[in-house]
Structure 1
Amino acid sequence: MMTPAQTLRDLLAQDKCHVMPCCFDALSAKLIQQEGYDLTFMSGFAASASRIGAPDLGLMSYGEVVDQARNITDAINIPLIGDGDTGYGNAMNVRRTVTGFAKAGCASVMIEDQLAPKRCGHTPGKAVVGRDEACDRIRAAVDAREALRAQGGDILILARTDARHEHGLAEAIDRAAMFAELGADILFVEAPQNEAEMREVCAALPGPKMANIVEGGATPDLPNAELHEIGYAIAAYPLSLMAAAMQAMVTSLRSMRDDARPGQMDFVELRRRIGFDDYYEESEKYVSARRDID
């Protein structure tokens, strides 16, 4: 059977830029799959907000993040890229992180070069570790990937650098190039400031590249066709679903306070999307399950 990692490799081999809405829990991931998207990413920003109601400032633990990823992969069969942040410690922690995400069913894991505690890539105050430590993280991630392969497992390494913010685009490109030489499968230079910088990133670096599009963030929100022409293989939208969901919930709460009923998904579709209809159909094979439903 095709592994999630191999499915992701096949997608990246296609001549297109994949639109990747990012999820934050099992339900949001399920909706992404139901709407026909080929892959998704567990946004650390959105998952932290959803799971612990707190900002993405390194507050979620490794165990909480892996548990969230496992819940998501249990609900979908499209590839999930997990946010492994800084790897949660030194190089040996990075190895454990990569192995844990693979065992949780992730097709890929992102490892970045920020100084812990990390910050959202489009918020102030972020800093990166030195080149040696950054390379150690990716080297450890690649070593973990190879160890998994030797045991029949598989995962891709998405290597991210946030060096553009502190040290300029040239340093960010140099770091990403080193990550590629170390064996990273996908490269992610966070927060280029304009289209010219995005083009420079893609022209300078080998292999699949990911763009991170935060509405109102530092990177231009370009049409998908243009992102493909520039050279990106993935366009991630980390906050689109969470922002839409939060706006809808706030609107509903304000309407209810005024004794109004806001427009919402009808109950029949709600049940279907969550999976009630599939459950009922499958349970028809079992007498005891039918009795429980009745």
Structure 2
Amino acid sequence: MAGPNGRRSLAARLKDKRIIVAPGVYDAVSARIADRMGFEALYMTGYGTVASHLGLADAGLATYSEMVGRVAIIAENTTTPLIADADTGYGGLLNVRRTVQGYEAAGAAGIQIEDQEMPKKCGHTPGRRVVAIEEMVQKIQVAADARRHDDTVIIARTDARTTLGIDEALRRGEAYAKAGADVLFIESPETTEELAMIGRSFDVPVLCNVVNTGRTPELPSKQLEELGFGIAIYPGMALKAASQAVTAAYSYLHDTGATLGINVPLMDSKDLHELMGFPDVWEFEKRWHTGTGAAE
């Protein structure tokens, strides 16, 4: 688990002008794979976590208890700093305090809270409504005050752009920064010009949600860096890739009754065993002669 070193490294890294590229992870397997790649942060996607854990849409259906449990599992299986989606904080101000402290204890280095009304909806989907700016300001103030570690990164997300326009989204971003947010996340800008406005408007780092076929133009991370962004997250990439690959593999098995000749890349069994930690199990059993209770 990244723990305090992960928090410190993420907070320190955000002072650098180079962009952080953070892939979306949604379970222990995707997290273990991403953790080996050398990324500087991982992003626990709410959409992917709710989908993989509950088989439901990311529409405010997952509870705090369900989600903090996922944070703990992912953090336990990784050493890379983890940014975790905490939706709206799962309720009022007391809930926000509990969420921040619970996510911290579970291993999150960064905690993202958004200003949507309940039930919240996934970004880049229609029908999102936001709470009054004053309500979200208080949530950010509580979040910043509640953290037990000064280097836990609080990320404030606004979904105001889609329904209220870019000017209101920028106004909210400024208010959330003043309330204590360490990073601002202006969700769903719709043009490159709006991305540029966001990148130059704030004194704190800004985050871009990169979604292929989403509402926001998909730009290379280097271009986002040039526009002023400090973090680029790719929340849906792995889930989409895995879902497409599994669909193709199951279709092949259904149609042919075999895996021979399948044109979907399959991880070698040896590599999968190694990824999931079987060598440690085998070494343990060799040392302790499992079943005898005696060590060598």
Give the TM-score of the pair, scaled to structure 1: 0.93
The letter of the residue matching 1:102 is: E
Q: How has the CA–CA distance of structure 1 residues 290 and 106 changed in structure 2, closer, same or farther, with 3 Å as cutoff?
A: farther
Say whether the 8 Å CA contact 2:156–2:185 is kept in structure 1: yes
How many equivalent residue pairs?
A: 286
For structure 1, list consecutive stretches of 5 or more residues without a partner in the other structure: none
* C-alpha separation in 2, matches of 1:285 and 1:155: 41
Q: Compute the displacement of 1:225 (Å).
A: 1.1
* C-alpha separation in 1, matches of 2:58 and 2:201: 30
The letter of the residue matching 1:217 is: G
Residues 6-59 of structure 1, C-alpha deviations (whole Å, 9 max, x = no match): 111122123311211110011111100112212111100000100000000001
Q: Compute the displacement of 1:2 (Å).
A: 4.7
* C-alpha separation in 2, matches of 1:289 and 1:190: 52
* C-alpha separation in 1, matches of 2:243 and 2:291: 37
RMSD: 1.7
Say which SS state the counterpart of residue 156 (structure 2) adopts: strand
Say whether the 8 Å CA contact 1:102–1:154 is kept in structure 2: no
* C-alpha separation in 2, matches of 1:161 and 1:183: 14
Say whether the 8 Å CA contact 1:3–1:154 is kept in structure 2: no
User: Match of 2:50?
Assistant: 48
User: Match of 1:268?
Assistant: 270
Residues 125-154 of structure 1, C-alpha deviations (whole Å, 9 max, x = no match): 110001111111111111112xx13xxx75
* C-alpha separation in 2, matches of 1:23 and 1:191: 20
The letter of the residue matching 1:26 is: A
Structure 1 stretches (4+) deviating beyond 6 angstroms?
A: none
Say which SS state the counterpart of residue 173 (structure 2) adopts: helix
Say whether the 8 Å CA contact 2:138–2:179 is kept in structure 1: no
* C-alpha separation in 2, matches of 1:290 and 1:248: 40
User: Match of 2:156?
Assistant: 159
Say which SS state the counterpart of residue 3 (structure 1) adopts: helix
Residue 80, structure 1, aligned to residue 93, structure 2: no
Residue 142, structure 1, aligned to residue 147, structure 2: no
Say whether the 8 Å CA contact 2:11–2:151 is kept in structure 1: no
The letter of the residue matching 2:39 is: Y
Identical positions, percent: 39
Give the TM-score of the pair, scaled to structure 2: 0.92
Say whether the 8 Å CA contact 1:85–1:111 is kept in structure 2: yes
User: Match of 1:35?
Assistant: 37
User: Match of 1:58?
Assistant: 60
Q: Compute the displacement of 1:286 (Å).
A: 3.5
* C-alpha separation in 2, matches of 1:123 and 1:194: 16
User: Match of 1:131?
Assistant: 133
For structure 2, list consecutive stretches of 5 or more residues without a partner in the other structure: none
The letter of the residue matching 1:287 is: W
User: Match of 1:287?
Assistant: 288
* C-alpha separation in 1, matches of 2:285 and 2:92: 51
Residue 232, structure 1, aligned to residue 229, structure 2: yes
Say whether the 8 Å CA contact 1:190–1:212 is kept in structure 2: yes
* C-alpha separation in 1, matches of 2:139 and 2:146: 11
Residue 220, structure 1, aligned to residue 217, structure 2: yes
Spell out the pairing of 1:81-96 with structure 2 (5 A cutoff): 81-96=83-98
Say whether the 8 Å CA contact 1:210–1:232 is kept in structure 2: yes
